[in-house]
């Protein structure tokens, strides 16, 4: 179950409340506030708070007093300019706070994005749920021969079934050992009064990396876009990309102008080296350029040719 009864009741209570405010709000984001969006088999993402909107970005750039000082087309043009020329400070004026449930190995990738405030569920104080991630068979693949960090061809059904059996068996055995080490039920009472339980901070080390953890993660819009530019990329690991794709939809609701500029100038754009740009100019001038005459490495040459469709 992605959410426990206590969490579900809390979400229902929060979603039923309304508060008068003079702060800028975004109707499309208010619609999904506190609502969990499922990710993977037991995970979720939900927005629990936010500050600012597209107008806040524009306001910060113009250092103006209020909203609506320019037409929307001018606001979009300014945001496009900021994105195009990598003026980041105005985007830092907007912040968002998320509640995320994710496998531990995904959390260890996510935490590499250090410009954020994070508070994680503590297995030193509480007992972790009996929930672990198992990939769908179509996401089980061999190690890529070309990319040390990626996957290659998908496993055949027999091999995939064996992998899933091993993952499930190992996780179940690890959790049984975890419970035995703790020697306590959900209320904290000992299961076997004759045997002392191991400290929770030690018992947790028996668990595998596919068990789920939870955290609150707060970041500004600039750093959210940096996260998404890396983790929503097709080369990112599937499991963290699944979370990034949900966050893209959240961003689209929250700051649609910034989202459009982000897609145009970051997500679906490309950065070309000075040497690569010189190669393109030589080609446009009619010169026949090869990898040997380009001054690019073989890998850079392949990437450039793929980028320009040759």
The CA distance from 112 to 127, in Å, is: 25
The CA distance from 170 to 168, in Å, is: 6
- 80 lies in the same domain as 143: no
The CA distance from 259 to 242, in Å, is: 18
C-alpha distances (whole Å) from 46 to each of 21, 30, 52, 97, 241 are: 22, 12, 17, 9, 16
Mean pLDDT of 264-283: 95
- 96 lies in the same domain as 187: no
The pLDDT tens digits of the residues spanning 190-202 come to: 777 878 889 999 9
Query: Looking at the predicted structure, is the pLDDT value of residue 68 above 70?
Result: no
HSE-up of residue 170 (Cα within 13 Å, Cβ side)? 14
Confidence of residue 64 (pLDDT cuts 50, 70, 90): low
- 95 lies in the same domain as 26: yes
Query: Looking at the predicted structure, is the pLDDT value of residue 179 above 80?
Result: yes
Q: Which residues pair with 38 in a beta bridge?
A: 44
Residues that are catalytic: 231
Q: Which domain holds residue 158?
A: 134-209
- 103 lies in the same domain as 252: yes
- 124 lies in the same domain as 69: yes
Q: What are phi and psi of 216, to 5 degrees?
A: -100, 130
The CATH number linked to 257 is 3.30.1360.170
The CA distance from 106 to 227, in Å, is: 13
DSSP string covering 261-281: HHIIIIIT-----HHHHHHHH
- 108 lies in the same domain as 82: yes
- 6 lies in the same domain as 92: yes
Last residue of a domain, one of 209, 237, 257: 209
- 162 lies in the same domain as 204: yes
Q: What are phi and psi of 127, to 5 degrees?
A: -95, 130
Confidence of residue 70 (pLDDT cuts 50, 70, 90): low
Q: What integer pLDDT is reported at residue 172 of this predicted model?
A: 95
Q: What DSSP state is assigned to residue 165?
A: H
- 13 lies in the same domain as 114: yes
- 115 lies in the same domain as 204: no
- 202 lies in the same domain as 222: no
Number of domains in the chain: 3
- 80 lies in the same domain as 54: yes
Last residue of a domain, one of 192, 209, 226: 209
């Amino acid at each position: 179950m992605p959410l426990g009864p206590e969490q579900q009741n809390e979400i229902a209570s929060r979603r039923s409340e309304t508060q008068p405010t003079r702060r800028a709000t975004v109707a499309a984001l208010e619609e999904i506030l506190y609502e969990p969006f499922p990710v993977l088999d037991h995970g979720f993402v939900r927005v629990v708070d936010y500050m600012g909107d597209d107008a806040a970005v524009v306001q910060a750039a113009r250092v103006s007093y209020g909203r609506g000082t320019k037409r929307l087309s001018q606001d979009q043009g300014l945001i496009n300019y900021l994105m195009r020329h990598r003026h980041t400070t105005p985007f830092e004026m907007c912040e968002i706070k998320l509640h995320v449930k994710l496998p531990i190995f995904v959390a260890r990738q996510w935490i590499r994005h250090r410009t954020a405030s994070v508070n994680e569920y503590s297995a030193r104080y509480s007992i972790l749920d009996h929930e672990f991630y198992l990939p769908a068979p179509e996401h089980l693949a061999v190690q890529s021969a070309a990319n040390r960090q990626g996957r290659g061809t998908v496993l055949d059904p027999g091999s995939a079934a064996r992998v899933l059996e091993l993952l499930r068996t190992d996780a179940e055995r690890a959790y049984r050992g975890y419970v035995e080490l703790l020697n306590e039920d959900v209320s904290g009472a000992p299961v076997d009064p004759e045997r002392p339980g191991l400290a929770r901070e030690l018992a947790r080390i028996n668990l595998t990396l596919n068990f789920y953890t939870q955290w609150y993660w707060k970041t500004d819009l600039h750093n959210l876009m940096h996260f998404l530019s890396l983790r929503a990329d097709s080369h990112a690991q599937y499991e963290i990309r699944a979370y990034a794709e949900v966050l893209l939809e959240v961003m689209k609701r929250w700051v649609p102008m910034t989202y459009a500029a982000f897609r145009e100038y970051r997500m679906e754009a490309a950065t070309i080296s000075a040497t690569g740009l010189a190669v393109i100019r030589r080609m446009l001038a009619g010169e026949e350029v090869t990898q040997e005459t380009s001054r690019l490495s073989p890998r850079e040459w392949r990437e450039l040719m793929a980028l320009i469709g040759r």
